[in-house]
Copies of this chain bind each other. A is one copy, B any other.
Amino acid sequence: MDRYEQVTELARRRGFMWPAFELYGGAAGFYDYGPLGAQLKRRIEDAWRGFFVIREGFAEIEAPTIGIEDIFKASGHLSGFSDPLTECKECKEIYRADHLIKHIIEVPDALSDEEIYQVFQDNDIFCPECGGDLSTVYEFNLMFKTAIGPGNKHAGYLRPETAQGMFINYPRLLRYFRGALPFGAVQIGKSYRNEISPRQGVIRLREFTQAEAEVFIDPRDKTHPRFDEVKDIVMRLYSQAGQERGEVEEMTVGEAVEKGIIAHQTLAYYVARTYQFLQAVGVARDRLRFRQHKADEMAHYAADCWDAEVLLDRLGWIELVGVADRTDYDLKSHMALSQARLTVFVNYDQPVRREKLVIKPDMKSLGPRFKGQAKAIAEALKSLDMKELKGEGPIAVQVDGETVEVERELVSFEMVEEEIRGEELVPHVIEPSFGIDRILYTVLEHSYYEEMVEEEPRIVLRLLPRMTPVDVAVLPLMDRPELTAPAREILEALRSAGYLTDYDTSGSIGRRYRRNDEIGTPYCVTVDYETIEQGTVTIRDRDSMRQVKVKKEDLLGTVSGLLCCTQRFEDAGVAVSP
């Protein structure tokens, strides 16, 4: 069993996660999170909120998971979000066409559907299952499609990313942030990709959870006001140039920006925050790097993009997070399709003074010539564009629906100085986009340890405090009323204080400790006869397996100190000799 199998076996057995719809034979690409997995997932999401909502002051929103067609027309998903397919003419099995020629063509994504089909023919590629002829290659859109309301009149699509929810709400978000850049909006929620034949457990799902932030910034200034807070962080960077040399470099965030390796401060700032966040939830530092997208893999909208990649035992380097400069691509696409103005007025630091040619109607001549219409004509002349004033002959203006021609000698021109305070701009967007399911799996794998204890294997999940699905397990030494009654009292007190608890009376105390080690419970509280006689309970530490005795009435305070890491276990009570 490799680590992947060990982790998924543990996850299934203990209730972290398992393939969905088991009762009916399952369906690839769908997973259930069980009690422990759902809890761990929420803790990861909450940690993410701590970083990207509370600390950055971004706004979390919640848009529908179903979207209407226009959104994905503008975003490009309707036309471009697809995989090439081929079907066996005999057995009707469907394949990713590019996957069938991987051994022949190094980068099959670069080929057109026709070119892939040509490779089939030139290389005698047949159905891998039955040897039958393969159909021509066609594109399969990866969005799940449905119909909104009866009658197939309105197509709906399950969103392939949460990001579009922020883009199409830009006008409301801008207003919420009182019309000023920069601001950020985030969503944590389900996204969907109708993969052809997903494998690899929660690494490639058809329904998955994303946490995405869209940070709207002034395109003229991509520095970041809090860059100093992160500039000294040392990270492992695998840049475009480094990938060509096959070399991962360690350097500070500041250095990376100075050397032009990361495009600008704002992008680097979110790369650094991503780095901090991933470690805060339990991704191992020595199996984490940031890889820059190569020019040919960069999305068409991106100016620069860095993926946080982790090393997994079976799967190798896997992308967990992408941090991209999406520029103004999305807002401009939605502007073009919706005709709405997705801009912001930005004030210049100093108003700019500019000379401008303006028209000066000569009222003394216009009055006698046009009588009552003179004033309206003067206004119409002033509102004309300078271009319309150029040329020879009379100037045509519209007044009360009729065209009036004004002789050129009746107007004069003048240079005036005008003050320009700012301009309308389309913001650029920096996007840190997190795959929560992959992060969760990584946290499990990177926390998984097997060790020999007293000649028996012990599995222990060394999850970080506050990332554990169970904070404290309460274990009466035996399942007898005189022990379970005080144990239940302790349980209630811990629950009321908001801790995630478990209560277990079945099996020997040693076995129950092991069961809790396996799911990462940092502390077990054992209620025994000393609890009745002397009012003490035993706290047992997952990592060291050591035990201390504390007074029952001090338990809540001690546990809270231990979980906040303000209390060292060694000093938490009277050590119990092993």
Contacts and interface: CB of A to CB of B under 8 A. Distances in A.
A337 B70 CA distance: 40
Contact of A23 (B140, B171, B195): B171
Interface string A112-129: 000000000000000000
A261 to B, nearest CB: 30
A68 interface: yes
Contacts of A190: 65, 190
Interface residues of A, number: 83
A223 interface: no
Nearest to A495: B54
Interface string A32-70: 111101110110000000100011010111111111101
Each complex incorporates copies of this chain amounting to 2
A306 interface: no
A334 B28 CA distance: 21
Most buried by B among A18, A59, A145, A175: A59
A465 interface: no
A122 B168 CA distance: 49
Given A94-B151, A194-B149, A176 B34 contact: yes
A27 B68 contact: yes
A158 B146 contact: yes
Contacts of A338: 23-24
Nearest to A13: B175
A448 to B, nearest CB: 20
A174 to B, nearest CB: 11
A232 to B, nearest CB: 19
A185 interface: yes
A195 B173 CA distance: 29
A54 B498 contact: yes
A22 B171 CA distance: 10
Contact of A15 (B41, B94, B176, B504): B176
Contact of A39 (B22, B60, B87, B147): B60
B54 A148 contact: no
A38 B53 CA distance: 12
Interface string A136-160: 0000100011111111001010100
A272 to B, nearest CB: 18
Interface in A56-104: 57, 59-68, 70-71, 85, 87, 94
Most buried by B among A154, A172, A173, A197: A172
A235 to B, nearest CB: 24
A220 interface: no
Contact of A500 (B54, B149, B150, B178): B54
B64 A24 contact: no
Nearest to A499: B54
Given A151-B94, A172-B18, A340-B23, A192 B66 contact: yes
A36 B21 CA distance: 36
B172 A24 contact: no
Nearest to A60: B38
Contact of A59 (B35, B85, B151, B206): B35
B149 A21 contact: no
A207 B65 contact: yes
Contacts of A154: 27
Nearest to A54: B495
B20 A63 contact: yes
Contacts of A150: 85, 94, 140, 194, 196
A169 interface: yes
B62 A32 contact: yes
Most buried by B among A18, A32, A66: A66
Contact of A168 (B23, B29, B66): B23
Contacts of A178: 504, 506
B21 A168 contact: yes
A282 interface: no
A24 B176 contact: no
Contacts of A32: 61-64, 165, 169, 172
A31 interface: yes
A146 B146 contact: yes
A49 to B, nearest CB: 9
Given A20-B64, A27-B156, A149-B196, 15 more contacts: A15-B176, A20-B63, A22-B172, A33-B61, A34-B61, A34-B172, A41-B62, A50-B498, A64-B207, A66-B158, A140-B150, A144-B147, A144-B156, A149-B194, A150-B196
8 contacts: A23-B168, A33-B62, A38-B60, A55-B496, A65-B65, A66-B158, A145-B146, A149-B197
Sort A-B residue pairs by CB-CB distance and give the 4 closest, nearest first.
A35-B59, A24-B70, A33-B62, A15-B176
